[in-house]
Amino acid sequence: MKIVVCIKQVPDTKGGVKFNPDGTLDRAAMLAIMNPDDKAGLEAALRIKDETGAEVTVVTMGLPKAEDVLREAMAMGADKAILVTDRVLGGADTWATSSTIAGALRNIDYDLIITGRQAIDGDTAQVGPQIAEHLGIPVISYAEDIKVEGDYVIVKRQYEDRYHELKAKMPCLVTALSELNVPRYMTPGGIFDAYDEKEITVWGRKDLKDLSDSDIGLAGSPTKIAKASDKVRKGAGEKVTLDPSESVAYIMGKLKEKHVI
């Protein structure tokens, strides 16, 4: 069985954010991690590998430094890694991103594709379902649990007040929630293999299949940024350090002042 996990290197949103003059993110300037929902998806794939001996390939679209998350994935146990990188792919919205990744995936054999539900930078939750749409395969989003049974996946699909147990025939795509599992750590041996033994395949624009230039990069993005700026954070108010009874009096005073009570 072959599983492909799409992962993304994202800026750690605890840090600050920077922009290029055209309004797109200046990703090169920031501290980077593997997106949490994707990591959970990778862990789900690795658990299936542990049980069934499946082959796990990780794919990412990004800047050259996105290689770091591929190495991390391999150190956790992924067998193969593909980096899709090219200047002309940059500035892509979810349509262009999903089109690009689908273009890469058309070169690979897969039974199951796993993506994270959403990335902590874009926060859209769109790319996973859109990749499935471009590839013409079923999508199951918001997976709380993924099991493989023969040619099928059985997925627990989360809604606000319920879940559906769904059965889908592979090939199909599942988007993972970070609640799915607690991902494993990299092992020392894994890290050694990731940097020494395993190779990363690098693909550029020309390696992507059935993909039109009008569907990639900034120019191929139907959504366009009109403006973007650092949020003017609600500023800090007052801060006091008092003993408990004074603290209570302080709070009571404010609640009255603001007509809460």
Partner 1 sequence: MGLEQYKGVFIYAQQVDNVMSSIAYELIGKAKDLAKDLNTEVTAVLLGHNVSGLVDGLAEYGADRVIVVDDPELETYRTEPYAHALASVINEYKPDIMLVGATAIGRDLGPTVSARVKTGLTADCTSLEIGDFPLNPPENGEQKHNQLLMTRPAFGGNTIATIACPDNRPQMATVRPGVMQKLEPKKGAKAEVINYNPGFTKNNKYVEIINVIKQAKSVKNIMDAKILVSGGRGVGSPENFKMLEELANVLGGMVSCSRAVVENGWLPQDYQVGQTGKTVRPNVYFAIGISGAIQHVAGMEESDIIIAINKDEDAPIFEVADYGIVGDLKKIVPALTQALKEELA
45-64: contacts with partner 1 (CB under 8 A): none
- Three-state DSSP state, 32: strand
Binding-site member from 53, 188, 206, 226 for partner 1 (CB under 8 A)? 226
Other Cβ atoms less than 10 A from the Cβ of 28: the count is 11
Looking only at residues 101 through 120 of this chain, which bind partner 1 when binding is defined by CB under 8 A?
Answer: 120
Q: Which of 38, 43, 72, 93 binds partner 1 (CB under 8 A)?
A: 93
Q: Which residues ranging from 5 to 34 are in contact with partner 1 (CB under 8 A)?
A: 11, 13-14, 16-17, 19, 23, 25
Pick one of 53, 197, 212, 240: the residue that binds partner 1 (CB under 8 A).
240
Q: Does 212 bind partner 1 (CB under 8 A)?
A: no
Inter-CA distances, 59 with 69, 187, 218, Å:
10, 21, 21
Tokens standing for residue 73: 């994935």
Q: Which of 142, 146, 211, 217 binds partner 1 (CB under 8 A)?
A: 142
For position 159 contacting partner 1 by CB under 8 A, the verdict is yes
Smallest gap from Cβ 53 to partner 1, in A, equals 26
Near partner 1 by CB under 8 A: residue from 168, 176, 180, 194:
168
Under the criterion CB under 8 A, does residue 185 sit at the interface with partner 1? no
Strands 112-116 and 80-84: unpaired
**Would you state the torsion angle of the CA atoms of residues 194, 17, 99, 112, taken in this order, to the nearest 10 degrees?**
40
Residue among 98, 100, 115, 181 that touches partner 1 (CB under 8 A) = 98
Q: Whole-angstrom Cα distance, residue 182 to residue 67? A: 23
Q: Mind spelling out the 3-state secondary structure of 50-112?
A: HHHCCEEEEEEECCHHHHHHHHHHHHHCCCEEEEECCHHHCCCCHHHHHHHHHHHHCCCCCCE
Is 158 an interacting residue with respect to partner 1 (CB under 8 A)? yes
